[in-house]
Amino acid sequence: MNGLMQDYPLLLSTLIEHAARNHGATEVVSRDCDGVVRRSDWAGVAARARKVANLLDRLGVEEGDRVASLAWNTSDHLELYFGVPGSGRVLHTVNPRLFQEQINYVIDHGGSRFLFVDRDLLPLAIDIATKLPRIEAVIVLNAHPPHDAEVTCLDYEALLSRETDQYNWPRLNEESACTLCYTSGTTGNPKGVLYSHRSTVLHAFGALIADGMALSALDTVLLAVPLFHVNAWGVPFAAAMSGAKLVLPGPRLDGKSIYTLLRDEKVTFTLGVPTLWMGLFEYLASDVSAGELKALPLQRVLVGGSAASVDLIRKFDKILGVELIHAWGMTETSPLVTVCKPLQHHAGMSEDDLYEFRASQGRSLFGAELRIVDDRGDELPRDGVSTGDLQVRGAWIANRYFGGDEPAVDGEGWFPTGDVARISADGFMRITDRSKDVIKSGGEWISSVDLENVAVSHAGVAEAAVIGVPHPKWQERPLLLVRAAAGQVLKSEDLMAYMADRLARWWLPDDIIFVDSLPHTATGKLSKARLRDAYRYHFAACRDLSGN
């Protein structure tokens, strides 16, 4: 027997209309590409989203067609977030930091006919459009387009000015596609993940809970995660749902630019990848007084995308008095799956143990399930000790890639994450490595993440990467690459001695190399693939001490 409740599809259009009706006057602040701060509100974003929908009707974009954006975090991009999917089209957000070949690949694969672009990315967009004849026009946000370009360039503002801000949003099937994001393709071509209205709205509900992001109408959120990175971790939707004030930082994410927005807009919550926060602390250490830091109203920061070190958690606590909340997810998981918030029984922990605990990735939100399996695919116990391949399934987890023939999951819906993890009896998950980053030394596994965490806890280290390098005797041995903290003179033997006090002897890196900078992927993660490539012969000449 069915229940007798209404069939009310979970749609992004209902979300933006909810924001306009209930939090219409709450601000949405945007620092544009030219550095100018523009102020609007949720009612204003909704009105312009309706104009976008009318514009797409006029351009003849069909339901289900993809529309690409190559843009930073601005209010123009935000209105596309609602106007494009709300009207039944699919917003394909493209990461401008990918390699040019990958950008061409994903835009071609996504199949868009129109490309919305920020002015500083216009040369890139024109280049793409000349190579991909399917692109009918490049639509330039917040700037006048050139008249002499090889491809049709249209003026977004001029186009919108002709449209009304009234629109009857279609009552779509909630399973219809809303947005498309590609993985960064560290192995092979990037793969497209096609989210649905239903999965996206459920993800926003999940993200909002008190043990998740705990966003409310009292919050001001600085969105330091790019809108092109996994739906900006769902925050535009969660903010519209909760009525939080939203601050969009534009292209500049250096320490100073972030700090001024945190201060001037009285931000209470922000989120982003660990490298972003390292940049912020480097700026704060040199340019901001302790008094000014204390005055910041910031309360919580969510970090994810790669592991947050104990050191980073400690810094937020000690320097800013801010709770750093560690979260885990992937493009394929919308992305939020786990969030680390201590339970009542953790209250008695020592400060150091609590930091260590908070560096774990946390428990899954309702709506997603986790498990670890061994090489044969058999489930391993949740005992906090067994280590295995992490799998996930749930209401906002991908089933299949865009354009892919094969399911991305097994027969029971489990998606293999490529991460290696432990899960405790009370559900806390700790990533010990990515399966391709684990160092296989003499038949045993060494966690590159654990080594990096110990290295960055040394005051002289700003950033560290550990990779497994082929070794004639041990199969692989760890190599540590270090970017020293500004103004610090660090000796290899001192760092090695420091690490020796904290790690098993056979885990210690065989060598330490100091570098001026470490390579990052398009989403700000350490690019270990590039490092592995560059240093693959580093131990080639090593000999077994026994002479073999």
Q: Which residues lie near ligand ADP (CB under 6 A)?
A: 183-184, 186, 304-307, 326-331, 361, 417-419, 431, 434, 521, 523, 525
For ligand ADP, the closer of residues 242 and 521 by Cβ is 521
Which residue among the candidates 265, 332, 463, 476 is catalytic per the annotation?
A: 332
The DSSP line for 404-446 is -SSBSS-TT-PEEEEEEEEE-TT--EEEEEETTT-EEETTEEE
| Whole-Å CA distances, 436 to 120, 187, 452 | 36, 10, 16
Burial (0-12, 13-18, 19+ Cβ within 10 Å), 531: buried
For ligand ADP, the closer of residues 167 and 414 by Cβ is 414
How far is residue 173's CA from residue 24's CA, in Å, rounded to a whole number?
Answer: 26
The CA-based diameter of the chain, rounded to the nearest angstrom, is 80
Residue 392 beta carbon to ligand ADP: minimum distance, rounded to whole angstroms = 10
How far is residue 65's CA from residue 88's CA, in Å, rounded to a whole number?
Answer: 8
How far is residue 230's CA from residue 306's CA, in Å, rounded to a whole number?
Answer: 14
Residue 116 beta carbon to ligand ADP: minimum distance, rounded to whole angstroms = 22
Q: Comparing C-alpha atoms, which of 237, 195, 246 is closest to residue 402?
A: 195
The H or E element containing residue 348 is none
Residue 367 beta carbon to ligand ADP: minimum distance, rounded to whole angstroms = 18
How far is residue 438's CA from residue 476's CA, in Å, rounded to a whole number?
Answer: 10
Q: Point out which residues pair with 66 in neighbouring strands.
A: 90
For ligand ADP, the closer of residues 16 and 94 by Cβ is 94
Residue 32 beta carbon to ligand ADP: minimum distance, rounded to whole angstroms = 26
Q: Side by side, which strands form the sheet with 177-182?
A: 153-155, 137-141, 114-118, 66-70, 90-93, 177-182, 192-196
Is 169:87 a contact under the CB 8 Å cutoff?
yes
Burial (0-12, 13-18, 19+ Cβ within 10 Å), 184: buried
Residue 182 beta carbon to ligand ADP: minimum distance, rounded to whole angstroms = 8
Q: Point out which residues pair with 40 in neighbouring strands.
A: 28
Residue 525 beta carbon to ligand ADP: minimum distance, rounded to whole angstroms = 6
Start-to-end Cα distance in the chain? 74
The H or E element containing residue 377 is none
Q: Is 491 tagged catalytic? A: no
Q: Is 332 tagged catalytic? A: yes
For ligand ADP, the closer of residues 417 and 457 by Cβ is 417
How far is residue 211's CA from residue 163's CA, in Å, rounded to a whole number?
Answer: 42
Q: Is 445 tagged catalytic? A: yes
Question: How far is C-alpha 13 from the geometric centre of its chain's CA atoms?
Answer: 24
Q: Is 51 tagged catalytic? A: no
For ligand ADP, the closer of residues 112 and 331 by Cβ is 331
Burial (0-12, 13-18, 19+ Cβ within 10 Å), 200: buried
Which residue among the candidates 183, 268, 387, 417 is catalytic per the annotation?
A: 183
Residue nearest to ligand ADP (CB): 184
Which residue among the candidates 27, 436, 445, 473 is catalytic per the annotation?
A: 445
For ligand ADP, the closer of residues 307 and 313 by Cβ is 307
For ligand ADP, the closer of residues 77 and 434 by Cβ is 434
Residue 237 beta carbon to ligand ADP: minimum distance, rounded to whole angstroms = 18
Residue 277 beta carbon to ligand ADP: minimum distance, rounded to whole angstroms = 13
For ligand ADP, the closer of residues 19 and 301 by Cβ is 301
For ligand ADP, the closer of residues 70 and 129 by Cβ is 70
SS3 310: helix
Residue 219 beta carbon to ligand ADP: minimum distance, rounded to whole angstroms = 22
How far is residue 395's CA from residue 407's CA, in Å, rounded to a whole number?
Answer: 16
For ligand ADP, the closer of residues 328 and 507 by Cβ is 328
Backbone angles phi, psi at 362, to 5 degrees: 100, -170
| Whole-Å CA distances, 147 to 133, 150, 154, 371 | 19, 9, 9, 56
Task: Please list the active-site residues.
Answer: 183, 332, 440, 445
